[in-house]
């Protein structure tokens, strides 16, 4: 698990909204709130920790972006996000 955490920490990156649009179009983006760590969520998803991921989904802590959010971000295509790719998902957190 620590190897996975280290690997995910190493691939954390930033991306502009413009770069994320294709991933939203294929329904692969998951929005992570600031109170959760991208790496913690990535580890849970990559290690199939279904109970923890379902808890976050049930509490509406992690979710696909809403149409309203996508509309706002389309108005600011240079908006930046912290990102973490955990195939097949792209986890994003607003900066």
Q: Render pLDDT for 18-53 as a digit per residue (tens, 0 to 9).
A: 999 999 999 999 999 999 999 999 999 999 999 999
Pairing mode, strands 89-94 and 29-31: parallel
* Burial bucket for residue 20 (CB in 10 Å: 0-12, 13-18, 19+): buried
pLDDT tens column, 47-80: 999 999 999 999 999 999 999 999 999 999 889 9
* pLDDT for the residue numbered 2: 66
* pLDDT for the residue numbered 77: 84
pTM for this predicted structure: 0.91
* Residues of the domain holding 59: 2-94
Q: Considering only CA atoms, which of 53, 49, 38 is closest in space to residue 5?
A: 38
Task: Tell me how many domains the chain contains.
Answer: 1
* Burial bucket for residue 78 (CB in 10 Å: 0-12, 13-18, 19+): exposed
């Amino acid at each position: 698990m620590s190897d996975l955490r280290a690997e995910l920490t190493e691939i954390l990156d930033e991306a502009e909204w413009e770069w994320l649009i294709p991933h939203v179009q294929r329904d692969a983006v998951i929005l992570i709130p600031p109170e959760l760590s991208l790496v913690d969520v990535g580890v849970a998803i990559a290690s199939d920790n279904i109970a923890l991921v379902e808890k976050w989904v049930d509490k509406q802590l992690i979710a696909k972006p809403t149409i309203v959010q996508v509309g706002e971000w389309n108005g600011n295509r240079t908006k930046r996000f912290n990102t973490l790719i955990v195939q097949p998902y792209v986890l994003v957190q607003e900066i």
